[in-house]
Amino acid sequence: MSIQKQVRRVTAPDIADRKGREPIVSLTSYHAHTAAIADKYCDFLLVGDSLGMVMHGYESTVPVPLELMIMHGKAVVRGSQRALVVVDMPFGTYEESPSVAFRNAARVMKETDCGAVKLEGGRRMAETIDYLVQRGIPVMAHIGLTPQSINTLGGFKTQGRQREQWAAIETDARAVADAGAFSVVLEAMAEPLAAQITGAVPIPTIGIGASAACDGQILVMEDMLGLSPRVPKFVKEFGKVGRAIDRAIKMYADDVRTRSFPAPENTYDVKD
Ligand code: KIV
């Protein structure tokens, strides 16, 4: 038996139980130190494949390799204690077949010690979601705008602009719920559609650019902090961290140039 950890982590079933109750709070997190901060306030942390764009400078999430997700997943699990950690399955690691998806998702779970994985797609992924859940892997689904399909969608666009498209998106939501997903991300859709889906499925909906009608919200942490160079219009910014970093680095550079930094006495002692 292992020694019990002092803090109990939120589990995928805990998130599923929150349907229709207190809104679920979540953010993306890619590193241990931001995970430690967000852990105090979030129900789950998503190691999103958006890290490819936010941290590694890719133009889309398509090039992100599994190894990168595992590396960042480990960091977020190490940095957090309480929040459920969900790791995104990157493009090309789960679409081919349920057994390929299982092999890669099991690797993510074993190597990162995360509590769940997320994958993109509605009806087309239902068989795979069922396969994974039956074999012990909790799955968060992701429908609406699915960024890994950027090359077929033709851009990052709001989904369900025409009312005739709503039924197909709702069918996707029902399909992932029936397949056993414990929650579903709704990305980039208008409030009436998000509200309709939230009312139609028995699992929590987590909106991103999908209004407060969902059971919870997720944002890319760097976007809400004001750190990302390009922020989607729907994002409410709660900080100006990019500006603060710019100011601090400028002051640091001035300090070095004017030799005004402290003398090396006990410099490696940690500040209180
Ligand atoms: O990769 C990501 O950060 C995501 C969120 C935007 C939901 O999938």
pLDDT, tens only, 236-256: 999 999 999 999 999 999 999
User: What pLDDT shows up at residue 267?
Assistant: 64
Give yes or no for residue 3 having a pLDDT over 70: no
User: What pLDDT shows up at residue 5?
Assistant: 62
Question: Three-class SS of residue 136?
Answer: coil
Residue range 56-65: mean pLDDT, rounded: 96
What is the pLDDT confidence band of residue 49, given thresholds at 50, 70 and 90?
A: very high
CA-nearest residue for atom 2, ligand 1, is 48
Q: Which atom of ligand 1 is nearest to the CA of 147?
A: 8
* Alpha helices per DSSP H over the chain: 12-16, 32-38, 51-54, 66-79, 98-112, 126-134, 150-153, 166-179, 191-200, 221-224, 241-257
CATH numbers and ranges of domains, the chain: 12-224 (3.20.20.60)
> Using a 6 Å cutoff on CB, does residue 49 contact ligand 1?
yes
Token pair 């219009």 in the structure block, residue: 233
Residue range 171-187: mean pLDDT, rounded: 98
Cβ neighbours of residue 180 closer than 8 Å, sequence gap 6 or more: 129, 130, 133, 134, 139
Give yes or no for residue 215 having a pLDDT over 80: yes
- 0.85 cut: is pTM over it? yes
Give yes or no for residue 161 having a pLDDT over 90: no
Residue 26, beta-bridge partner list? 44, 218
Residue 25, beta-bridge partner list? 217
Between the CA of 37 and the centroid of ligand 1 the distance, in Å, is 19
Give yes or no for residue 21 having a pLDDT over 70: yes
CA-nearest residue for atom 8, ligand 1, is 48
Q: Token pair of 168, please?
A: 């197909």
